[in-house]
Amino acid sequence: MSGLAKVIGQRIRNYRTQLGLSQEKLAELAGCHPTYIGQLERGEKNATLESIDKVASSLKISLSELFENLGGENASERNLPLECYEFLLTKSREEQEQIIKIIMEIDKYKGN
């Protein structure tokens, strides 16, 4: 599958885990099979816009959120803030708080 399918799949997984949903529960909410959700998350399936819309709605996000910053003029440049954001989405609330504390401490140390 394409790199785009893998990026979208990872985003779906990130949003799903952030909400504490299993693949089975997301599939139920979106009206599709749990295997299909797994295939989407692994980037193995090219989904229809209709099914992506159902998944996004079930995740309580807009299609624009799911597809933001996917390309454009500087697509070859890494979008580090977006990578950090997507990384944090995979973590629990407690882990997110610990990570931000670490980053803040590093930033304070750097200033001295």
Phi-psi region of 69 (alpha: psi -120 to 50; beta: other; left: phi over 0): left
Convert the pLDDT of each residue in 16-26 to its tens digit. 988 899 999 99
pLDDT band at 112 (very low <50, low <70, confident <90, very high): low
CB-side neighbour CA atoms (13 Å) of 21: 21
- The tokens for 16 are 């799903």
Range 3-111: architecture per CATH: Orthogonal Bundle (1.10)
User: What are the structural domain ranges in the chain?
Assistant: 3-111
pLDDT digits (tens, 9 = 90+) for 69-105: 776 544 556 677 777 887 887 788 899 999 999 999 9
Q: pTM to 2 decimals? A: 0.69
Residue 36 has pLDDT above 90, yes or no: yes
